[in-house]
Amino acid sequence: MAAVRGTTSYVWKGYTTSEIRGLIRHDVRSIEEARGIQRQHSNPMIVGARTDQNRVLINDGTSGFREAVSAEEIWNAIDARLDERATVGSTGKQRKIRSDSKTAIQFILQLDPDFTGECESMSDEKRDEIESLHEVMIQEVVNRMGHRNVIAVAHHWDETHPHVHITATAMTRDNRVSLRPALGTGMEACDWSVHHDSMRLALRENGYEATLERVGQGRKGESLTLYKKLRDDARSFESALNDRDKSLSAREVAADKREIDQDLRDIRLGEIDVEQQVGRRILEADKSELQQKREELDTVLPRMKREAEKEAKAIVDEARDDADKIRSTASVEAARIQESARQLALSEWEQEKKSMRSKAISDFNLWRGRQEAVVNAELQSRLQDVSDREGAVTKREAVLTQREDAINAYIDKVQAYGAGLVTQLQGRVKRYDIALQRAFKNAWDSDRLSRFAEMLDEQRPGMRRMPGGQSQQPQAPRPSGPQLGE
């Protein structure tokens, strides 16, 4: 690799558990879009057409990384690592993590934009070269934090210039949750220059001639000499303010302290009142309101930054013009410092409000998931009950079918038996008629026949007398409809 010269961007910041979740949502946008989840991002430099080129890796639990599948997987990995924290004394219990504790750290790594160029017009060879240098920077962070603490690595190629986000837990070597010791040992924990120099040396060993000059943030393009002069002027002004503060009487200091304490109490009371209102209305906030807040915040922050830069420049100019005006301007600066304290308190309140809103939304999603699980279980139970009832009805129908077949068989037997009875009766009637005819022939005598007819008339009133002294047996009416045996 040919030696190149350029700057490096190597910054880090601690976050609470609730704050890091929102940042992870930003880091894994490529995974969510692949799953069909579309979110609005306030960063105007994001090009959605290239988001699929991003890569998100997660600690595989051994000594490497694998492709991540969701933001929830990274959240769970952070919680699992924090659950490994050490116990307190001989109690055997873990210390509870406060809601405002900085439990996670996010690093942002970027090479000189003049060296990388823009992602849109980058060649494959250039991308391979940048990725190899990114791996050197990632390994430097892993060596600094320990592989177990590095949870996720996100390579972003859908913005103007390529960069890397690394999410790590603020766990020390002896498994304590502490932000500053987790970043290093001794003075290295708070000395940024030690870590920046280590990163630059690692890059220089791999062909990237990283500059060792220190430049200030927000002053791109200024010479190092001018920057040092402005820095010395600011330090001189700060020293003068410190001397002025030391010369104030104890009564003035106590008065300022009482005023600041009263302001802090008022701010805290306002925070409590707002927290109560937020707690009542947090579930009513929708996605459009959240997006509107983000847009307002994105609009306010640059303006505040420009105003702060103007104020800093004005302070340096005043210090150059006349050092005798320090006492007269001290009261103005004190008021500005108090206002900055109020703004800082309000900023912390905004962060806490966002944290509560995120937690409420998370709790609501968890409650909704549980309710859906209960409803699904109840539905499955009812479907099983209906299936059991259908089986019982099928069995009953089978039993009724068997009974119907038995009844039809019994009816067939009864009809056959009735047909046999009819046949027997017809035979008897026929034999009876033959016997009557024989009796008529034998009793042709009119007297005997007459008496016999009278006797028959008495016994069978339904018979009528025939000419010649004979009687005719009446015919029984034939019943209508189908008869037995037919």
Cα(474)–Cα(431) distance, integer angstroms: 16
Residue partners of 203: CB distance under 8 A and separation at least 6: 8, 133, 136, 137, 210
Whether 271 is in a domain gets the answer no
Pairing relationship of beta strands 4-6 and 163-169 according to DSSP bridges = unpaired
| Rg of the chain on CA atoms, in Å | 51
Cα(183)–Cα(39) distance, integer angstroms: 33
Whether 157 is in a domain gets the answer yes
Which residue from 447, 485, 455 is spatially nearest to 471, judged by alpha carbons?
A: 455
Pairing relationship of beta strands 4-6 and 208-210 according to DSSP bridges = parallel
Strand order across the beta sheet in which 55-59 lies: 8-15, 104-111, 163-169, 150-156, 55-59, 65-67
**What is residue 171's DSSP assignment?**
B
pTM, whole model, 2 decimals?
A: 0.46
Of 217, 233, 255, the one marking the end of a domain is 217
Of 217, 232, 263, the one marking the end of a domain is 217
Whether 6 is in a domain gets the answer yes
Residue partners of 8: CB distance under 8 A and separation at least 6: 109, 110, 111, 112, 137, 196, 199, 200, 203, 210
Whether 412 is in a domain gets the answer yes
Whether 237 is in a domain gets the answer no
- Give the pLDDT means over successive 10-residue stretches in the chain (486 positions): 65 89 90 85 82 93 92 93 80 82 92 90 92 94 92 94 94 85 56 81 88 56 50 57 53 55 58 56 60 69 74 72 69 80 83 85 88 87 87 88 89 88 85 79 65 69 50 48 43
Whether 434 is in a domain gets the answer yes
Q: Are 135 and 166 in contact, with CB atoms under 8 Å apart?
A: no
Whether 211 is in a domain gets the answer yes
Of 190, 217, 244, the one marking the end of a domain is 217
Whether 70 is in a domain gets the answer yes
For position 127, which CATH number holds?
A: 3.30.930.30
**Number of compact structural domains in the chain:** 2
Give the structural domain span for 67: 1-217
Q: Output the pLDDT for position 169.
A: 94
Q: Output the pLDDT for position 217.
A: 46
